[in-house]
Structure 1
Amino acid sequence: MRAYDLIQKKRDGGVLTREEIEWWVEGVARRTIPDEQVAAWAMAVFFRGMDARETADLTRAMAFSGETVDLGDIPGIKVDKHSTGGVGDTTTLVVAPLVAAAGVPVAKLSGRGLGHTGGTLDKLESFPGFRVELGRDEFIRQVRSIGIAVAGQTADLVPADKRLYALRDVTATVDSIPLIAASIMSKKIAGGADAIVLDVKVGSGALMRTLDRALELAHLMVRIGRQLGRRVVALVTDMNQPLGRAVGNALEVREAIATLQGRGPAALTELCLTLGGYMVWLGGKAPDPDAGRRLVAQRLEAGDGLAMLRRLVAAQGGDPRAVDDPERLPRARHREAFAAPRAGYLTAMDAAAVGAAAMVLGAGRARKDDPIDPAVGLVMCKRLGDRVEAGEPLVELHVNDRARLPAALERLQAAFTLADEPASPPPLIHAVVGVEGTGAAGSVTGAASTASVAPAATPAGPAPLPAGWGHLVELARAARETALAPFSRYRVGAALEAADGRVFTGGNVESASFGLTMCAERVALFKALSEGQRRFTRLVVAADGPERPFPCGACRQLLFEYAPALEVWVDGEPAPLPITALLPRGFRLER
């Protein structure tokens, strides 16, 4: 084989075989393929994509491109949790001890922060003396001994991904869903866990800015994990504002301790209980996610999670007294307020700008070798939906180097949107992906939407989804949340799958001039046509309420005309129908 030929094949839209992918990954890991060819291949994948089989093969090859962690000698189902990155996301410091306290071994390989997103290892190093670099044998011994270990990747783990990611980072090819999925899942597979709960962030502070792309990534990672023999569930959670109040390493550790004491912010506590419920369920300690959540809540109330955090810190060389006395953690010398310029309701926030402000103060890194100041960061005084008065603090900045303050304040200037009328904040949990086929009968309380959940088999219940349709149904239901229906209050969402596997979604848009109203199906179709798509395979339509949202006559004609081979599923119907059944004598140009 030649690297040139594989680059050309992918550039021209070809599908790589497993053997070709394995040869390529070996060349990347051993550095027999030069940087310029690796970068060219990444760009070809960025534009041409990879199908699910290719992505799974890439994941498998990268996972085994170096050493792996074998947790087979540890009794029980070992569970890991991964977040795609956000701002003020302190969940690991809360969830991991709670789940371990519930009897599920937690073997967590974590990373450092980069850019506006924080890293678990940086936060843990706020504990004086805490060691995040554990050898493989020490890592395994600690999980066997106390039920939990949180450490950084060793240098010989997934070397192919390390090199590929470094080149993606400097060639503008990071934002490729197949490459993101393979990068994340290869590390999880190499880490040795039997089950994985994924927290896929979506919003202004996340890598995935839109719900469509977040759901696409979540479904792909769940599918990859299943193909590689892991139990996997993904939650799509909101990152349009920091999850908690604290943004910064020691500040977030204090908040995690408060949460384990039962005094944490509501959103952080809620998400930790939900994630923990799924981890405990996948770990075999609860019959379903709701029961898992109840068990985690009991461990929280009993103080067992706090005790487990204390054991974790002590086991890895940190000062466990800081768990009970957070004053021992680093503290910034100065505090400054960033005030609201006017009165109003906080309706939007640029969470990435908030994270960037904390980074400028020294809480994060612009480059991998930048030093971290564990004491500095931000404390959010308001959340989306809150009323704010002019001059009232929006953010409290914790500062050591005052010379950094102007740059941080500059980033905060445009980060907040104030309006005269209130707006509903986004849901904390947008969807749960991958519950079907894992034995769950339902979903954890608090999830705004549960993707691909097989309904209970009761006579009055809806028919189960045929294989392969679950992700489209969830995308249509998610698109319904984007509808603008101020007159009818009847929201409809549509998800249209093109022949190449891409999915286009839309919600209905109403106008006071009724003739300008757009149905959800048309929004999705026109979006796809505008991007050059001409062949379509499947459509799902979902709406509010029990009434089944069959496409209107105009939409049936458009779909019949542009997608003659289309199968249409109306949410609530027992089965999909061909478009010819919805419009048996439709008009096309050739007729």
Structure 2
Amino acid sequence: MAEKFDAVDVIRTKRDGQKLSRGQIDWVIDAYTRGTVADEQMAALAMAIFLNGMDREEIAQWTQAMIDSGETMSFDSLSRTTSDKHSTGGVGDKITLPLAPLVATFGVAVPQLSGRGLGHTGGTLDKLEAIPGWEANISNERMMEILEDPGCVICAAGSGLAPADKKLYALRDITSTVDCIPLIASSIMSKKIAEGTANLVLDVKVGSGAFMKDIDQARALAQTMVDLGTDAGTNTVALLTDMSTPLGRKVGNALEVEESVEVLAGGGPEDVVELTVALANEMLEAAGVTDADTEAALKDGRAMDTWKKMIRAQGGDPDAELPKAAHTHTVTADADGYLSELDALAVGVASWRLGAGRARKEDAVQFGAGIELHAVRGDKVAAGQPLFTLHSDEEDRFARALESLDGGYTIAAEAPERRESVVLDRITAGN
């Protein structure tokens, strides 16, 4: 770095509501990554950004500086173009599993570098690790081979991508600066741009089970991320999708793999199929494929064939029996009526308490733990009818999970208003 700055001056600039210069941003991200800017100084800067915000140019430069803190990947050597998807996380969100093979079926490579779950939202890698033999960690060389055939890979991101983000993310978590659009957007997009995909579709969740509870906030985050991708030369679009109630009927690692396979077999819950198809169409259109009948590829087994090849390519047995929890507990309806509310956060926290998620990064997950929903929002139910089955390897976890579900669902005499679509809005690059 040619220019030398001072951390206190950089903090003061943003504390006083002024714009950070490109030089200041480049210097502070590099110095923090190397350890010459202390955690307490970066914490102060993060809080100043939280309180005073950043403009589009600042966010773009902050994102680029985080990309520059590590290595970048390129898929230019592949014989096919790439399209990727990123979800901001939700309850029952297993969409990556059927989506990647569905898109690859039409000749577009899907490099899905995924993560593990923390808290009430599940991680894609945790779900796939429920499949016997499946390996999340593969070399870049092996990834390129799989992207040629069968054309899709879901694996762990290398530690060399945006190391500044990993360090800053941990700091934001303990300084109450997580919920900040410039910092969320730059965190997500620094990793996605560093991964090097040509096209990117963002699934920005909104509702109780999502990071963003409010649609206006979710729209602002989506627009910021789409603009960041566009400014970096990545063809980017976002869908805002409903996460007020869980996606599908199964929540938990092996349970979500089961439901994904149902979708790939031409069945599965309507909302999971709808969102899988909507995102696949966006990913394919971004890659220049405009005539794909994605619904047909789910019905006729083509996507299932690609799924099995993808799982085998990473050492997994797609036909093996999935783990089952040692114990179950069923919750029944206490009255006749309609399931008028089913809160995504309540179900997500209950599933986490059953052992499907982790409280700390080093915790293990139970592959068989989770919740099966026998009724979803809008369904007519009768007194005594099973509503949910809880799965766990430890019976003593049921009480805490039931506490989370208490108040998380309502049975009413009137049917709730029907949701038109799980997709709420589509966001493209702004001016």
Verify same fold: TM over 0.5.
yes
Q: Aligned residue for 2:44? A: 40
2:57 counterpart of 1:53: yes
Check conservation: 1:4, 1:37, Cα contact below 8 A.
yes
TM-aligned CA deviation for residue 352 of structure 1:
1.2
Q: Aligned residue for 1:26? A: 30
Q: Quick one: distance in 1 between partners of 2:295 and 2:343?
A: 32
Q: Aligned residue for 2:396? A: 403
Q: Aligned residue for 1:100? A: 104
TM-aligned CA deviation for residue 357 of structure 1:
0.7
Q: Aligned residue for 2:77? A: 73
Which of residues 287, 299, 302 is equivalent to 1:301?
299
Q: Quick one: distance in 1 between partners of 2:136 and 2:328?
A: 29
Check conservation: 2:366, 2:392, Cα contact below 8 A.
no
Check conservation: 1:100, 1:308, Cα contact below 8 A.
yes
Which of residues 424, 427, 430 is equivalent to 1:433?
427
Q: Aligned residue for 1:387? A: 380
Q: How do residues 343-382 of structure 1 correspond to structure 2 at under 5 angstroms?
A: 343-382=336-375
2:235 counterpart of 1:231: yes
RMSD across aligned positions (CA):
1.4
Normalised by the length of structure 1, the TM-score is 0.70
Letter in 2 for 1:429: V
Cα deviation 1:89-129 (Å, max 9, x = unaligned): 11000100000011101111001011000110001101111
Q: Quick one: distance in 1 between partners of 2:15 and 2:157?
A: 32
Q: Aligned residue for 1:321? A: 319
Q: Quick one: distance in 2 between partners of 1:27 and 1:424?
A: 53
Q: How many residues align?
A: 426
Letter in 2 for 1:220: T
Normalised by the length of structure 2, the TM-score is 0.96
SS of 1:132's equivalent in the other structure is: coil
Check conservation: 1:347, 1:425, Cα contact below 8 A.
no
- Higher Cα radius of gyration: 1
TM-aligned CA deviation for residue 299 of structure 1:
1.7
Check conservation: 1:204, 1:349, Cα contact below 8 A.
no
Q: Aligned residue for 1:422? A: 415
Q: Aligned residue for 2:203? A: 199
Q: How do residues 127-276 of structure 1 correspond to structure 2 at under 5 angstroms?
A: 127-276=131-280
TM-aligned CA deviation for residue 72 of structure 1:
1.1
TM-aligned CA deviation for residue 345 of structure 1:
2.6
Cα deviation 1:50-92 (Å, max 9, x = unaligned): 1111111111111221111111101232111000000001100
Q: Quick one: distance in 1 between partners of 2:413 and 2:225?
A: 41
TM-aligned CA deviation for residue 418 of structure 1:
2.9
Letter in 2 for 1:278: E
Q: Quick one: distance in 2 between partners of 1:393 and 1:214?
A: 34
TM-aligned CA deviation for residue 164 of structure 1:
0.4
Q: Quick one: distance in 1 between partners of 2:9 and 2:402?
A: 50
TM-aligned CA deviation for residue 349 of structure 1:
2.7
Q: Aligned residue for 1:567? A: none
Check conservation: 1:87, 1:116, Cα contact below 8 A.
yes
Check conservation: 2:353, 2:397, Cα contact below 8 A.
yes
Q: Quick one: distance in 2 between partners of 1:353 and 1:144?
A: 41
2:278 counterpart of 1:285: no
Cα deviation 1:391-426 (Å, max 9, x = unaligned): 332211112110111111111112113333222144
Q: Quick one: distance in 2 between partners of 1:263 and 1:298?
A: 12
TM-aligned CA deviation for residue 296 of structure 1:
1.5
Which of residues 328, 331, 334 is equivalent to 1:335?
328
Letter in 1 for 2:196: G
Q: How do residues 468-547 of structure 1 correspond to structure 2 at under 5 angstroms?
A: 468=431
Letter in 2 for 1:9: T
Q: Quick one: distance in 2 between partners of 1:192 and 1:343?
A: 53
Q: Quick one: distance in 1 between partners of 2:15 and 2:331?
A: 49
TM-aligned CA deviation for residue 319 of structure 1:
1.3
TM-aligned CA deviation for residue 241 of structure 1:
1.0
In structure 2, list runs of 5 or more residues that go unmatched: none
Q: Quick one: distance in 2 between partners of 1:90 and 1:250?
A: 11
TM-aligned CA deviation for residue 20 of structure 1:
1.2
Check conservation: 1:246, 1:252, Cα contact below 8 A.
yes
Q: Aligned residue for 2:17? A: 13
Return closer, same or farther for 1:343/1:7 CA change in 2, 3 Å cut-off. Answer: farther
Cα deviation 1:18-57 (Å, max 9, x = unaligned): 1211111111221211111111111111111111111111
SS of 2:304's equivalent in the other structure is: helix
Q: Quick one: distance in 2 between partners of 1:29 and 1:135?
A: 25
Return closer, same or farther for 1:301/1:7 CA change in 2, 3 Å cut-off. Answer: same
TM-aligned CA deviation for residue 376 of structure 1:
1.1
Check conservation: 2:342, 2:410, Cα contact below 8 A.
yes
